[in-house]
Structure 1
């Protein structure tokens, strides 16, 4: 019998109001903002930079899974089952068969994608979790001004249709690299 406290429920997190449109989500999370402020501070150096990036991307992928991944009702016998017939949990859990790809863009850094890949393998069956790689560099004009991005190689494990595709972009500046990466995968895979 399903535990009524853990049935299918919508999940919501507190978000900051903005005018970027309904597809943009800005989390109102004081802990993450504190970590982000520390990451961005001038005095923050390695290895703290990498550790903070890991904390922030674990938090971010956690939120994405809660908000966007499908759920299934599952029945799990707990360790208590050995002493009581009531040692069974039944409720809505993240669907462990959800096919997902995390894409690293090797221009700004691969750490965020690796963090997401490892985290997803704890929740989703490893057979349907994949990490793809795009090699990207900036394009400059004759005055050395950045005018775009170029993809010079990839290691993509197959089709992306029917999969949730995540781009944990460490730069997050103008979005041109991310836009180029999304377009490349759509056109080629």
Structure 2
């Protein structure tokens, strides 16, 4: 099971980079081919405020960069935690620190999601209809809280284990 988890995390690292670069390339292309983007927007949504729609689209594409970095850091931390599990000693203070970092990365991703929602609202207003598909969700926020709590539990567990080893 651990080898599958390692393979999935490595695949996610590569996929994160590929998709992120593709979307950032699309952001750059939106400036190079602005007229083509504008024409496509007008064809899709007659009466659209093209400038606002392009601004919202570009904002959404720009959000990709911090999300890509945070996801990369998150996957790396999980791989490092997997290393300690495979080594037979997962309850180490370093993993508690990694879990706390994972919680911060997840919080950053959630904040980017809120920014994505703002950009989606700009796009929706520009198009005169709901096109963004964004809606707020509690699941990610609950996950952030859960991982912060687990990091604290992990820290206490590793401390208690170390204390027990000293008394034996």
TM over 0.5: no
Using the size of structure 1 for normalisation, the TM-score is 0.28
Higher strand share: 1
Q: Which has the higher contact order (CA 8 A, sep 6+)?
A: 2
Higher helix share: 2
